[in-house]
Amino acid sequence: MREGYAFKCNLQEMPSWVPEAALHYLAHTETGTPIRALARRAGRHASTVMRQIRAYETRRDDLLVDEALRRLGQRVIHDRTPGSPPRRPR
């Protein structure tokens, strides 16, 4: 169920082992996609997606998880319009 995500990336480049919750986290943090939009696309309740995102925020305390998410986040293609705010640094 990787089709229809709000962020752009080459899905062939995204490893197949990446869980849906991690894709939600990356879409929300890397592109600023609203949680409700992610939930609608995934067919889940917004609170479920929010819990998934919070769980990955907590997991970033682990250096290995943090590095994996950082590298996966680099694969996200940022489609910004001129004048849009820059990404927040981690």
Q: What is the pLDDT of residues 4-55, one digit of tens each?
A: 454 555 444 678 889 999 999 998 998 888 999 999 999 999 999 999 999 9
Tell which phi-psi region holds residue 4, choosing left (phi > 0), alpha (psi between -120 and 50) or beta: left
Tell which phi-psi region holds residue 43, choosing left (phi > 0), alpha (psi between -120 and 50) or beta: left
Q: What is the pLDDT of residues 12-26, one digit of tens each?
A: 467 888 999 999 999
Phi, psi for 19 (deg, rounded to 5)? -70, 155
